[in-house]
Amino acid sequence: MTGTAPRLSGPDLALACGVTTLPVSALITSPTGSGKTHLAREAARHALTCGERVIVTVPTKALAHEIARTWADLPGRVQAFTRGQPSPPYRAAQVLIMTPERLDLVTRRWRRHHPWLARVGLLITDEIHTISDPARGAALDAALTRLRAALPLLRVLALTATCGNPRVLADWLGALHIGGGIRPMPLTWTARTVRAVADKPAALQRVLTPGESTLVFVHGRQRAADLAAQLQTAGHASAAHHAGLTPDTRAKVEANFRAGHTRVLIATPTLEVGVNLPAEHVVLYDLTTFGPDGRQELTVNAAWQRAGRAGRPGATRAQVTVLGTRAEQPGQYERGRFEPLGSPLSRGEHLLGFLLGCVDGGYTRTRAQATRMAQQTFAAHTGTLNAPRAVATLLQQGALADHGGVLSVTPLGRVASQALLPVPVVAAVRALPQDPTVLDVLLAAAAHVRLPSLGDESRATLVDALMSVPSRTLDAGTAPPDAVIGAALLHATTHHGDDGAAELSGLHEPTLTALREEALRIVSAWHALAPSVSVNLTRVSLAAQLPPRTATLALLSGVGQVTARTLSDAGVPDLPTLARTFPAQLTAAGFTPRTAERLIGAAQAYGPIPLTEPTPAPCARRVLADPARLARARLLTVTPTAHGWTVTGGSEGRIVTRHGDTLTCDCPDSVHLCKHILAVGLHLI
């Protein structure tokens, strides 16, 4: 029998070559939907049958849980390890799925994990192109570099659909490169040019086909919400999908899209990788964004990752429409000229964190070893980095110590390394005022978190809530305005929960959760480095979303948010009160006699908790305001009168009068500290 043998490429070629069974590393560059995930699962299956463990890295928590669910039929326990989700010990799983940040932390503690880590024979790195991500790529580079140093015989299977320099990446991994591959459903591209960005909403409606499942990619949450609302008004079954949705809401939105109840999904880049939604049509709507680095164009790599969502299993066609102005050149993306991958690890704090983790984990003990370790990173493979200068910086910061040429981590360095935080952020605990209040700790932590944008009215309401809260920093007038706003948001989460703070601020609940968790990580590191009552109480207050007084109850082992609130509702507002409570009061609130006695006994054994804090000094807080209101106050003119001050320069003049230590204004503003009172306060300084 004669004939032509089929030409194999991509995942099919990898299977034919025995990549899943041979002791080799491989980089597979193949289009989305061409079978890379199937190849990875078969490789994991073979490793498990050989008695090995498998680590899988993915860029998002959502993708980690999706892979854990779809790979559950493998011959071994498959477990996703993500923050905020209960999980068993690492040693209990045979396939461990985690984000790069989690693996980075594991490699810093490899000695602790050695009993199970030594059995890992295969590392599967999905979406390895994210090694170029400015925010998260450094963690992937660091984790891969350290893990390969700890396990020299480790096999790596790296997967991506978008890589402009595959040979360079394969050379760094010491891997075979297998490219090509065919999508079961080829993409059909169409570029639509509009005269201006303002014309895009109308253009979007013209390209939509009734009944067709469509994913529309935009850059921001507000854009997603606005477009979804516009399409709903026009009669399209549409919804928004972004990181600002709660997990339950996001799952419901995805389920409605899969079931066909929602036909048009407006999504931010959270859906760019991994999660499989059966879309027939993908629209690339935003091709330009404006961020901290100015105007940025959508990369070809990102465009193809988004386009790859079209034609996934369950779809009947794969259409991609690119909407752009002439300047945005929407036609450039179809050519698929992918950008070469690099790594941000060589930049600033990323390199410092990597080298600190290497010394903390015992990978390096001298400056020469640190330099050699840095040269093994992808950042060094594709560019340059200055390891000696980074080591010198760590020594200057007090994170490392040099004992006759031997490097070691200091207590400050170890806490910073294990918390995955920059050294100066951890060292900031030393700048807290003497005997700080909880709000002082929140103000200090808020100076190191990323703040979301807030409207003027929301800022005023939140900041005014701090006027009566004890704080030595506020009384001294040394708190930066942005830190005040951040502390006001954190204060709201501890008094009203993330959901209540979201209502007060107008922000999405997950945004407040992320802010609180970021502050909690900082405060927890401070508590590890310099334990104190106020820092510990702030930590518990943030973790349990409880006011500081109620949070004292959660200082007890086994008492969480629900139990603490139940005790508070039963007339037990704090730990000292609990120590004086009779068991009958708790049993009347629903606690069993045994639990009541245990809680009261634990409170009595805990010892005294100082709850007395300084009385706020209103006069010293006259300039406490959000930056926008403070800026407006600086533009006003203040003229003293016999009974107070006249403030002009706004829409109309106002009168501010003094009553003891309190200033009042005749304006209709509902905020406690209006711009007119602020202007008088500035005048008096």
Indicate the class that CATH gives domain 10-179.
Answer: alpha beta
- As its CATH architecture, domain 548-605 has Orthogonal Bundle (1.10)
Q: What 8-state DSSP symbol labels residue 433?
A: P
Evaluate whether 10-179 and 188-328 have a shared fold: yes
Instruction: Report d(CA 356, CA 362) in Å as an integer.
Output: 10
pTM of the full predicted structure?
A: 0.86
Provide the 3-class DSSP secondary structure of residue 37: helix
Give the number of C-alpha atoms closer than 13 A to the C-alpha of residue 163, restricted to the C-beta side.
28
- Under the phi-then-psi rule, with left for phi > 0, alpha for psi from -120 to 50, and beta for the rest, what region is 320? beta
Residue 457: the pLDDT is 72
Q: Which residues contact 195 (CB under 8 A, 6 or more apart)?
A: 325
Q: Is residue 556 classed exposed, middle or buried when 0-12, 13-18 and 19+ CB atoms within 10 A define those classes?
A: buried
**Helical spans, DSSP H, in 299-454:** 300-307, 348-360, 367-375, 378-382, 387-397, 411-419, 423-427, 438-446
- Strand, coil or helix: 418: helix
**What string of H, E and C letters represents the secondary structure of 507-564?**
CCHHHHHHHHHHHHHHHHHHHHHCCCHHHHHHHHHHHHCCCHHHHHHHHCCCCCHHHH
Output the six-digit token pair for 642: 């016999």
Record: fold of 188-328:
Rossmann fold (3.40.50)
pLDDT at position 4 is 41
Give CA separation, 470 vs 147, 237, 340, 441, 496, in Å.
47, 50, 53, 11, 18
Give me the sign of the Cα torsion angle 182, 184, 190, 191: negative
pLDDT of residue 5: 39
pLDDT of residue 44: 95
DSSP 455: -
Fold of 344-414: Arc Repressor Mutant, subunit A (1.10.10)
pLDDT along the chain (685 residues), means of 10: 44 66 88 84 94 95 89 94 81 96 94 94 96 93 97 95 95 92 84 94 93 91 90 93 85 90 90 74 89 77 90 77 94 93 94 97 96 97 95 97 96 97 97 93 96 78 83 86 92 94 90 94 97 92 92 88 89 91 92 93 84 59 58 84 88 85 77 77 73
CA 223 to each of CA 60, 226, 239, 412, 450: distance values in angstroms, whole numbers, following the listed order: 22, 5, 12, 42, 21
**407 SS3 class:** strand
Domains of the chain, residue spans:
10-179, 188-328, 344-414, 432-544, 548-605, 627-684
> Could you tell me how far CA 261 lies from the centroid of its own chain?
30
DSSP 3-state of 458 = helix
Please give the pLDDT value at position 683: 78
624/643 Cα distance (integer angstroms): 24
Among 537, 539, 526, 542, smallest CA distance to 426 is for 526
Q: Which helix (H) or strand (E) holds 176?
A: strand 176-179
